Amino acid sequence: MIGSRFSYGIAAKMVNCYLKALFLQTMVGAPFNPYNKRADDVAENSTRFLHPPIDRLLMVEAARHANPVQKVKWKKLISTGWSKFQCQDYKLAIQLIREMVGENAALGEVYWVGYQ
């Protein structure tokens, strides 16, 4: 806990929501050019340190698509609740996302059903 009511999970979600908005703002302003390989590289590099904000929607959907070992870990994290995450819980969630989508954890957004 960072404070009596302000956990690591809450702080991380706030930061990631801000970074997601900042990233989307810069991407919206970028011209679309499907033949520009360099633009793909820029997008890939700009997302490699990002990941989607972790919440219950994302964890439940990720658990549905996880292998049996990952599913057990997701269920434990779900029962903890993202708003009560400590640092090690948050790191585990990011590790699980990377196991499922590869090193670019931003691709874990696919498990957030809120966008659909």
Q: What is the residue extent of each domain of the chain? A: 8-115
What pLDDT is attached to residue 111?
Answer: 92
Cα gap 72→69, rounded to integer Å: 6
Band (pLDDT 50/70/90 cuts) for residue 3 is: low
Q: What is the rounded average pLDDT for all residues in the chain?
A: 80
Q: Looking at residue 27, what is its pLDDT?
A: 56
Judge whether 27 and 43 are in contact, CB under 8 Å.
yes
- Helix, strand, coil percentages in the chain from 3-state DSSP, rounded to 5: 70, 0, 30
